[in-house]
Amino acid sequence: MSVGAAKAALTDSMMQITLREYQKAAVDAVWAHLRELDTNPAVVLPTGAGKSLVIAQIVHDAVHEWHGRVVILAHVKELLEQTAEKIRALAPDVPLGLFSAGLKRRDLNYSATVAGIQSICKKACDLGSVDLIIIDEAHMVPAEDDGMYRQFIADAKVVNPHVRIIGLTATPYRLKSGPICAAENILNHICFEVGVRELIVQGFLSPLKTKAGLQKISTDDLHVRAGEFVASEVEDLMDKDGLVEGACAEIVEHTKDRAATLIFASGIRHGQHIVEVLKAKHGVECGFVCGDTPAGVRAAILGRFRSGELKYLCNMNVLTTGFDAPHIDCVALVRPTMSPGLYYQMVGRGFRLHPGKADCLVLDFGGNVLRHGPVDAVRIDTFDRGEGEAPAKECPQCQALIAAGYQTCPQCGHQFPEPNKQRHEAQASTEGILSGQATREEHHVSETTYHVHMKRSDPSAPLTMRVEYRVGFNRYFREWVCFDHSGYARTKAEAWWRARSVEAVPGGTEEAVEMAKAGALAPTLHITVEKKAGDQFERVVAHRLGDKPPRLDSEEGLPEVPAEPVGMTYGIPDEEIPF
């Protein structure tokens, strides 16, 4: 076989793994950011969404498209092995090394190196010049000026001052320091993000069901240190005979027809107590792993769990990231946490799809869903303890944990009473009781993006501009502005534009999106969203705008903006589009 034929065959084998559309979009967003900006981008993908494949594609492109050298950093051995496996599968022609004391490998001089940060933090100069540093689970990077990641990056910049950094995470914030992306941080901007709910709707993540424990705990007397409950107090609270026995009984009852249950304990003593009660009172074998578990014993237990031989596995702080067991269809949180990131990572162990798995049941014995909200709409302003409306509530009939706005439990049909029905309120309830009545809420907008949208069910329909407003950490509202339509829809689009810009109204959608991305529109500070009882989707009905920007420089023309393929819908159902 000729060299050319061999290379073509290798390329064909590499392309056998096909990225999903959102994974391709994430890769494209990374390269667009690196081309157009001097800052370091982050990609936010939910647990189970395939970050390793995105990393593998970026590595392939970096090595083959511009002959760069890449190092991929992670903090646990499981992530190193998983990432290396995906790179070998997606890009077998990339020379790949491993640098990890735990894996007994110290490879240097490769085009791409997957490395454990603990092992390589002082070895950046030994690697030689590196063009790209990719950080998996980037929320692990501390905001402070010290730490292993910062030391490695600082040393790498001595060898190559132009090295760029990319971060990937499911949770782009830390409890103590807030968002991981900021001008003064290693990572500066989120270049791409897709939400849990969107991927569940598209069928890429497992649906979730949540139930609260029958026995309630109160965390009011717990102290908080460095943004989290004091660990010893949490364990003392949860490790009471009645609570452990009640939790174990509920876990066994709810998982009779489930394949694999992962339990998160509040401490080592507490975890061992759970294991003992499951065996003594229910005849159930449950494995247990923690930071002190010897490597060989831990590997054997995880192997039995992954194979299906062991149905129950309890752990203390070791299986929150990097642990991949797609058949997990129940996650039991027998610990409270103040950290929205830890809460998300624990529940995320059940996100992955698996043959025969209909959904993942989350059993919450620590009040975490009520504290932080549903996992697809995590509330991260948890620094106040108890102020404001709870983001979720519990159904008194079936113990389902659901978003606070539900008036009817979607799992058992229980009808909730009107809010504060027992007492007279100074302000009337805004909840719609009858079909057609409307609820209105105002939201602060943290980011606005503009997209060319083609309706999937009717490609011949006129293009529209899809405007996406990000509120909170991972919640979006959308509206459609119809520049390519005629009649009232076009008139409404013209009025929408004039309220925001001193530029002439664009002739069509593609021009409108280009000008919007170039900075022609006033920022949207707040939006008012209306939800009519009986309607499936909310609608944006009012806006609070900032100042209109000055006119774009007509002599220099419009700045270049990243191209977006027409019809990139990211799974938005057609019935949500109001035209």
Tens-place pLDDT, residues 284-311:
999 999 988 998 899 899 999 999 999 9
Tens-place pLDDT, residues 334-365:
999 988 888 888 888 888 899 999 989 889 99
Q: Do 218 and 183 fall within a single domain? A: no
* Within-domain flag for 434: no
Q: Do 337 and 269 fall within a single domain? A: yes
What pLDDT does 398 receive? Answer: 57
Tell which of 199, 228, 243 closes a domain: 199
Q: Do 388 and 494 fall within a single domain? A: no
Tell which of 178, 199, 220 closes a domain: 199
The residue ranking higher by pLDDT, 420 or 524, is 524
What pLDDT does 104 receive? Answer: 81
What pLDDT does 534 receive? Answer: 54
The residue ranking higher by pLDDT, 142 or 341, is 341
Of 3-7, 267-271, 365-369, 493-497, the one with minimum mean pLDDT is: 3-7
Calculate helix-pair angle for 268-282, 241-254, nearest 10 degrees. Answer: 60
What pLDDT does 567 receive? Answer: 37
What pLDDT does 230 receive? Answer: 87
What pLDDT does 554 receive? Answer: 53
What pLDDT does 211 receive? Answer: 81
Tens-place pLDDT, residues 244-262:
999 999 999 999 999 999 9
* Within-domain flag for 427: no
* Within-domain flag for 83: yes
Could you give the 3-state DSSP secondary structure of residue 355? coil
Q: How far is residue 115's CA from residue 152's CA, in Å, rounded to a whole number?
A: 11
Q: Which two tokens stand for residue 16?
A: 């056998």
* Within-domain flag for 570: yes
Average pLDDT of the chain to the nearest whole number: 80
The alpha carbon of residue 412 and the mean position of all alpha carbons in its chain are separated, in whole angstroms, by 28
Q: Do 79 and 187 fall within a single domain? A: yes
The residue ranking higher by pLDDT, 534 or 184, is 184
- C-beta atoms surrounding 436 within 10 Å: 9
Q: Do 345 and 448 fall within a single domain? A: no
Which of 405, 371, 400, 399 shows the shortest CA–CA distance to 385? 371
Which amino acid is residue 463, in one-letter code?
L
Q: Do 458 and 498 fall within a single domain? A: yes
- Residue 240 clears pLDDT 80, i.e. is over it: yes
* Within-domain flag for 431: no
Q: Please compute, for residue 95, the number of CA atoms within 13 A of its CA located in the half-sphere on the CB side.
A: 8
Q: Which two tokens stand for residue 107?
A: 């490879």
- C-beta atoms surrounding 94 within 10 Å: 19
Most distant pair of Cα atoms in the chain: their distance: 84
User: What CATH number corresponds to the domain at position 143?
Assistant: 3.40.50.300
Q: What residues make up the domain containing 452?
A: 440-576
Residue 308, phi-psi category: left (phi > 0), alpha (psi -120 to 50), beta (remainder): left
Band (pLDDT 50/70/90 cuts) for residue 392 is low
What is the mean pLDDT of the segment spanning 19-36?
92
What pLDDT does 455 receive? Answer: 76
- Residue 15 clears pLDDT 70, i.e. is over it: no
Band (pLDDT 50/70/90 cuts) for residue 450 is very high
Q: Do 160 and 215 fall within a single domain? A: no
What pLDDT does 578 receive? Answer: 46
What pLDDT does 297 receive? Answer: 93
What pLDDT does 515 receive? Answer: 92
Tell which of 199, 232, 250 closes a domain: 199
* Within-domain flag for 8: no
* Within-domain flag for 446: yes
The residue ranking higher by pLDDT, 411 or 63, is 63
- Residue 469 clears pLDDT 70, i.e. is over it: yes
Tens-place pLDDT, residues 103-135:
788 888 888 888 888 888 888 888 888 999 999
Number of domains into which the chain is organized: 3
Q: Are the C-beta atoms of 273 and 369 separated by less than 8 Å?
A: no
Percentage of the chain exceeding pLDDT 90: 33
What pLDDT does 425 receive? Answer: 32
What pLDDT does 388 receive? Answer: 42
The residue ranking higher by pLDDT, 127 or 553, is 127
Instruction: Among 221-225, 311-315, 528-532, 537-541, name the most confident range.
Output: 311-315
Q: Do 46 and 90 fall within a single domain? A: yes
Band (pLDDT 50/70/90 cuts) for residue 195 is confident
Q: Do 192 and 230 fall within a single domain? A: no
Q: Do 303 and 176 fall within a single domain? A: no
The residue ranking higher by pLDDT, 118 or 174, is 118
What pLDDT does 427 receive? Answer: 32
Q: Do 194 and 131 fall within a single domain? A: yes
- C-beta atoms surrounding 420 within 10 Å: 10
What pLDDT does 511 receive? Answer: 93
Q: Do 253 and 367 fall within a single domain? A: yes
- What 3 state SS string does 246-299 have? HHHHHHHHHCCCCCCEEEECCCHHHHHHHHHHHHHHHCCCEEEECCCCCHHHHH
* Within-domain flag for 3: no
